Chains A and B, each alone.
Chain A
Amino acid sequence: MIIRPLVITAALLVVSLVIGVVVGPAAYSIQDLQQALFGGQEGPARAILLSIRFPRVVAAALVGASLALSGTIFQAVLRNPLAEPYLLGVQAGAALGAATAITFGLTTVGSLTLPLTALVGALVAIGVVFRVARVSEQLDTHVLLLAGVVSSSFFVAALLLLLTLASTDSLQSAFFWTLGNLGGVSWRMILVLAVWLIPSFIVSVAKARDLNALSLGEETAASLGTEVESVKHLAYFLASLLAAAAVSVAGVIGFIGLVVPHAVRLLWGADHRMLIPTSFLGGAAVLVLADAAGRTVASPLEIPVGVVTAFVGVPFFLALLRRGYAR
């Protein structure tokens, strides 16, 4: 059944969006939000809710959806339940790019420098891994995995070398970048992310039956009418570029891409026609909630959202696993 999981996660997303906007160092009520949205009067509440909270919450939703979608696709194509968006080196490449910009002081050039350098790093990683894993027009998923993991280590080594030589200030900025932060996302970046995410989502849903078949095995998929190589190529670039976009905008936020698709599978099964939209909505909702929690739990201190997703995600996931295997 496709409708029920969709309705549940969509409702969860709406609730989490509202929570995400109203909670924070200064708490507001639902009425304040209504006032700000439809009341039309200027005021500090309206300014905070609409100019600060709202873009942040939307950014969290888009990044969460991107990561969950990316993880879902990787798990199907690599036929590896442990696959996640950062497995193939995107994260390490982006971190190296961002750290380069930070240590060489490029971040003062403009507000988009950091996301752009991170994106360049991620794209380099995607290109290198793709080049290695593509032999005679075929993409070998085992090589893809190994090449991804190995190039990750290389980028991490380069990152560590860079940070060893960096000043204390740069070190701290780079460190915080790797923990993930949704605070600095501008409307412009949100727009770019959305323009990339929405078509990717539509294409993924269109390929849901092919992803079902591919998740059984490549020979099986071919015998069920899937053009295996073209779907694999498409899926690799879709999932990698989604991860690259998310990591460039918000830094490294782990566990969403791994945990959300798994949770959906354990609850409602493996059919990608359900799994893709449900993970998409679920990923958005979970990251909005995690970010809201990070902002409020230790207020005025802000806990990095990557820490929250791991802290909440891991126990939740372990509980689900136990439940799943007990069945």
Chain B
Amino acid sequence: MSFELKDVWFRYFGAARPALAEVSASFPAGKHTFVLGPNGAGKTTLFRVMLGLVVPGSGSAAYEGRTSQEWSRREFARRCGVVSQEPGNLFPFTVREMVEMGRNPYVGSWRNLSADDEAVIERALERTDLLGLADRTVSNLSGGELQRVKVARALAQTPATLLLDEPTAHLDLGHEMEIFSLLRQLTEDEEFTVITITHNMNLASRFADHVVLLDGGHVLAAGSPREVLEPERLKKAFGWPVRVEDQGSLGLQIVPLEP
């Protein structure tokens, strides 16, 4: 197991109801797990709990058997790379500088990057098809390019697990598929564990090995896409009637009914 959540409760300060209640979920190593749910289901809170950015009120969230308090930030960053929703393009860093920051958890304050670090960075740029853009300033990139930079930076952390929060929310179909086919390669060929948080059912049905369906802070269901993505359940979670069509090797397709 990479992440293991047991009976996690979390309530924001002053909030009437908990953002997460009784959440238990496992994230199998070497697989692509989707945390799926509508807006306000508690996905981002779950993401923050998993990263140790907030501490659950009760219950435990562990990564590789250790809770976030037992990991140092630096050690954790060597095991788990993150693509968050923060744009991070306010200041004029170059693409290469952004990806170099993936080595932060490895290099000391007064050290330069080693040849090994440079090789890792080069490889991350290459895998995300960014070699040609390495010297561009991130403020001048398109949404798709910026998202690839964030994936490259996470890869430069040489992690075992990648955690992505709505990685393709603002991307068009082609750029979305590019990122998800890279993620599929990572799990299938290199034993990466990938966790994607999204409200996009069709991405989950297409790319997930395992789905955790979240609604109102509860886990509604967990299992393979075929087990979890049932019309009645999806209607309950997303508040809209849907039909689930089997597209064979392309997985399930979820089609909204009406209007």
Q: Which residues of chain A have a CB within 8 Å of any CB of chain B?
A: 76, 79, 81, 136, 205-210, 212-213, 215-220, 222-228, 265-266, 269-271
Contact = CB atoms under 8 A, between A and B. Distances in A.
B97 A269 contact: yes
User: Which 6 residue pairs are nearest across A and B when measured between Cβ atoms?
Assistant: A217-B86, A225-B105, A225-B77, A223-B82, A216-B88, A270-B91
A217 B82 CA distance: 13
B90 A209 contact: no
Given A209-B109, A270-B93, A225 B73 contact: yes
B104 interface: yes
Contacts of B77: 223-225
Contacts of B92: 265-266, 269-270
Contacts of B78: 225
Interface string B44-80: 0000100111000000000000000000011011101
B107 A223 contact: no
Given A225-B74, A225-B76, A220 B104 contact: no
Contacts of B74: 225
Interface centre among A205, A212, A223, A225 (most CB of B within 10 A): A223
Interface residues of B, number: 35
A270 B88 contact: no
A220 B88 contact: yes
B84 interface: yes
Nearest to A212: B101
A226 B104 contact: yes
B91 A209 contact: no
A206 B111 CA distance: 10
A219 B94 contact: no
24 contacts: A210-B104, A212-B93, A213-B101, A216-B88, A216-B91, A216-B101, A219-B51, A219-B84, A219-B86, A220-B84, A222-B52, A222-B53, A224-B102, A224-B153, A224-B157, A225-B74, A225-B78, A225-B104, A226-B73, A227-B73, A266-B92, A269-B97, A270-B91, A270-B93
Contacts of A209: 101, 104, 107, 109
Nearest to A205: B109
B93 A269 contact: yes
A223 B97 contact: no
A205 B51 CA distance: 27
A80 to B, nearest CB: 9
Nearest to A268: B92
Given A206-B109, A209-B101, A209-B104, A217 B73 contact: no
Contacts of A205: 109
B81 interface: yes
Contacts, number: 88
Given A224-B105, A271-B97, A216 B86 contact: yes
Given A206-B109, A225-B74, A217 B88 contact: yes
A317 to B, nearest CB: 15
Nearest to B76: A225
A215 B81 CA distance: 18
Contacts of A136: 13
Contacts of B51: 219, 222-223
A215 B109 contact: no
A220 B101 CA distance: 10
A121 B88 CA distance: 35
B109 A223 contact: no
Nearest to B13: A136
A136 B53 CA distance: 13
Contact of A79 (B81, B90, B93): B90
Contacts of A228: 73
A222 B80 CA distance: 11
Contacts of B154: 223
Given A222-B53, A225-B76, A265-B92, A213 B97 contact: no
B165 to A, nearest CB: 9
B73 A220 contact: no
Nearest to B105: A225
B39 to A, nearest CB: 19
A38 to B, nearest CB: 36
A269 B94 contact: yes
A76 B81 CA distance: 22
B101 A223 contact: no
A220 B138 CA distance: 15
A206 B108 CA distance: 9
Contact of B53 (A212, A219, A271): A219
Contacts of B86: 216-220
A8 to B, nearest CB: 18
A266 B137 CA distance: 11
Contact of B90 (A81, A207, A219, A226): A81
A216 B105 CA distance: 16
